[in-house]
Homo-oligomer: A and B are copies of this chain.
Amino acid sequence: MNVLILGAGQLARMMSLAGAPLNLHISAFDVNSGNTVHPLTREVLGQGLASAIERADVITAEFEHIAPDILEQCQASGKFLPGAEAILTGGDRRIEKSVLDKAGVNNAPYNVINQREDYDAAISKLGLPLILKSALDGYDGKGQWRIKSTEDVEATWQSVEAFLADADDRQCVIAETFIPFDREVSLIGVRGANGDTAMYPLTENIHTDGILSVSVAADDNHALQQQAEQMFKAVADALNYVGVLAIEFFDVDGTLMVNEIAPRVHNSGHWTQQGAWVCQFENHLRAVCGLPLGDTSRVAPTAMINMVGHVNVPQAIMSGCHLHWYDKAPRPGRKIGHINVTAASREALAEQLTTLSQALDSTEFPAVKEAAERLR
């Protein structure tokens, strides 16, 4: 079976590694070059989207910020899963918020801002502090503003106004009530075409400067898991979703509130490569290819540590963990790999993370120590 992935980054790469044992032939459409490439070797396999679609049995995506004309072409082929609507939902905060509302899942109150009147209305309706996010292309902390107090209102508007003036017509800004959350958790789940779902245990995430630093899957809070799974089902059913869907939540004193969704395999699910019986990459492929879903249960408590930018990784740590490099040149802020650490127990995982925090540079790996401390 030939699977075409929109996007040729590390997520496509890891899907190709997971798909090879299933005899799935994975190619990746690089939206920048217009070439279809092998996501592991970068071998150019073809040119142009039309021929790539033609050769594919199934089309899926590794990211959600895809031009509408590409989505339309894929959708028209009838081979696209989870499909244009789901990708648009993940790629446009305005659509995402309306889908969350429609699915009836708990999420922060919001207002759409196109002009100054909307901005003032948002402040008066939602109060301060406020978070503002660009509707399109907003991930890893880009296109975000925070209004802490009335003193920030004018300066922030200058910035938002300039941003909107520069942006294309589809762009807008979403103002959301600031949620004073205890921590961020995410749920990675998968839904098959027949409506079957399978969900991984919740992952706790620590971000640094808006970029995911560490994800830890060691929690056994059944009440929280149940809340998350109910919301996953509501959202996935609303979108008639097929594939892996990631949902990021705020944990506010034991009550979950959806922050955002990603219609794809997700960085906070990379721990499943060692920590779960069947990883998110394989399960996404199983779902979009119509194969039975694999076991999502946890093998052992596991942490995932991102490698971002220029990092020094002493070889010695390899004796106790798994490295996953993406074969990418390091640049500041660029994810170039991750480290998976598994342990027999929560306590042993805390121990291993403490050891790792001593072996790794704390400016390069800013959240490992905190992750260890949170486990104690």
* Residues of A near any B CB (own CB < 8 A): 13, 17, 20-23, 38, 40-41, 43, 274, 277-278, 286, 291-295, 299-300, 315-316, 318-320, 322-325, 327, 337, 342
Question: Which of B292, B320, B324 has a CB less than 8 Å from the CB of A319?
Answer: B292
Residues in B whose Cβ lies below 8 Å from that of A323 = 21-22
Write the nearest CB–CB distance from A282 to chain B, whole angstroms. Answer: 8
CB atoms of B325 and A22 under 8 A apart: yes
Q: A319 near B299 (CB under 8 angstroms)?
A: no
Which B residues touch A22, using CB under 8 A? 323, 325
CB neighbours of A17 from chain B (8 A): 17, 20-21
Taking CB atoms, residues of chain B closer than 8 Å to A274 are 277
The answer to whether B23 and A325 touch across the interface, beta carbons within 8 angstroms, is yes
Residues of chain B within 8 A (CB-CB) of A299 are 299-300
Distance A321 CA – B43 CA, assembled complex (angstroms): 31
Q: Are B277 and A292 in contact (CB under 8 A)?
A: no
B20 with A40: CB separation less than 8 A: yes
With both beta carbons as reference points, the residue of chain B lying nearest to A277 in the complex is identified as B342
A322 touches B278 (CB 8 A): yes
Which listed residue, B20, B316, B318, touches A294 by the CB 8 Å rule? Answer: B318
Q: In the complex, what distance in Å separates the CA atom of A362 from the CA atom of B164? A: 67
Asked, given contacts A41-B38, A43-B41, whether A324 binds B294 with beta carbons under 8 Å apart, the answer is no
B-side contacts of A300, CB under 8 Å = 299
A292 close to B318 (CB less than 8 A): yes
Residue from B21, B40, B43, B295 within 8 A of A325 (CB atoms): B21
Residues of B within 8 A of A23 (CB): 325, 327, 337
CB-CB under 8 A for A322 and B41, given A315-B292, A342-B277 = no
Partner of A40, one of B40, B286, B293: B40
A17 to B26, CA, bound (A): 14
A294 to B318, CA, bound (A): 7
Given contacts A21-B17, A23-B327, A327-B23, contact A286 B322 (CB under 8 A): no
**B295 engages A318 (CB within 8 Å):** no
A273–B316 Cα distance when bound, in Å, is 22
Q: How far is the CA of A23 from the CA of B38 in the complex (A)?
A: 16
Minimum distance in angstroms from A201 CB to a CB of chain B: 16
A286's nearest neighbour on chain B, judged by CB, is: B318
On chain B, the residues within 8 Å of A295 by CB distance are 319-320
Query: CA of A318 to CA of B38 in the docked complex: distance in angstroms?
Result: 26
Chain B residues, Cβ within 8 Å of A43: 38, 41, 43
Min CB–CB distance A318 → chain B (angstroms): 5
How far is the CB of A294 from the nearest CB of chain B, in Å? Answer: 7
Partner of A322, one of B21, B316, B325, B342: B21
Q: Are A21 and B315 in contact (CB under 8 A)?
A: no
